């Protein structure tokens, strides 16, 4: 059978893409996936292009891209002859966001390590952790 003509139920699509059925329905609802045709019994039926798109969406989500970025990826994918500068910009913006989050997490990690290191492990009354949590001025970093 021609692969493009291969039909999938929503359950099969879910298993093949590792995306849960409610998420597939959500993606249809918000327009990331086209509405599938339905059988006379009302069952959704998908073709391989829906599977390809769903796999791309799932991978982009796993990489942390927003729904809006994915929507733009899909729009741009409809223009294969266009330069990929816009895709580069979206990806660069996301990379910058990820880098900033990593830096913030590193500061947070350092602060937590400092709190534990400076704690005398005595009584709650003199606990350094509660002291720092109660007054941000006791923090060693901006986090």
The kind and range of the H/E element at 45 are strand 44-45
Average pLDDT over residues 96-119: 91
Q: What is the CATH number that goes with domain 3-82?
A: 1.10.1660.10
**pLDDT (0 to 100) of residue 3:** 52
Give the C-alpha separation, 101 to 93, whole Å: 12
Collapsing DSSP to helix, strand or coil, 37 comes out as: strand
In the numeric block, the tokens 């929507």 are attached to 71
For the chain, the domains span 3-82, 88-138
pLDDT at 64: 96
What pairs with residue 44 in β-bridges? 38
Query: How much is the CA Rg of the chain, to the nearest whole Å?
Result: 24
For the stretch 68-105, pLDDT in tens is 999 999 999 999 998 899 999 999 999 999 999 999 99
pTM of the model: 0.79
The mean predicted confidence, pLDDT, of the chain is 89
Under the banding of pLDDT at 50, 70 and 90, the label for residue 13 is: very high
Judge whether 138 and 131 are in contact, CB under 8 Å.
yes
> Tens digits of per-residue pLDDT, 20-39?
999 999 999 999 999 898 88
Distance CA 141, CA 110 (A): 8
In the block, which residue shows the tokens 């798109």? 53
Q: What is the pLDDT of residue 1?
A: 47
Could you give the count of Cα atoms lying within 13 Å of 111 in the half-sphere of its Cβ? Answer: 18
Distance CA 100, CA 116 (A): 25
Bridge partner list, 46: 8
Q: What percent of the chain shows pLDDT beyond 90?
A: 63
């Amino acid at each position: 059978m021609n692969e493009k003509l291969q039909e999938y139920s929503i359950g099969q699509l879910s298993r093949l893409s590792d995306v849960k059925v409610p998420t597939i329905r959500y993606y249809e609802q918000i327009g990331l996936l086209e509405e599938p045709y339905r059988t006379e019994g009302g069952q959704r039926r998908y073709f391989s292009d829906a599977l390809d798109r769903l796999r791309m969406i799932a991978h982009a989500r796993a990489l942390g891209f927003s729904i809006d970025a994915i929507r733009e990826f899909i729009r741009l994918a409809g223009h294969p002859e266009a330069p990929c500068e816009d895709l580069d910009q979206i990806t660069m913006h996301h990379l910058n966001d990820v880098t900033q989050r990593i830096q913030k997490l590193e500061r947070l990690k350092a602060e937590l390590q400092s709190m534990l290191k400076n704690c005398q492990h005595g009584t709650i009354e003199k606990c350094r952790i509660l002291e720092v949590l109660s007054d941000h001025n006791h923090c060693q970093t901006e986090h």
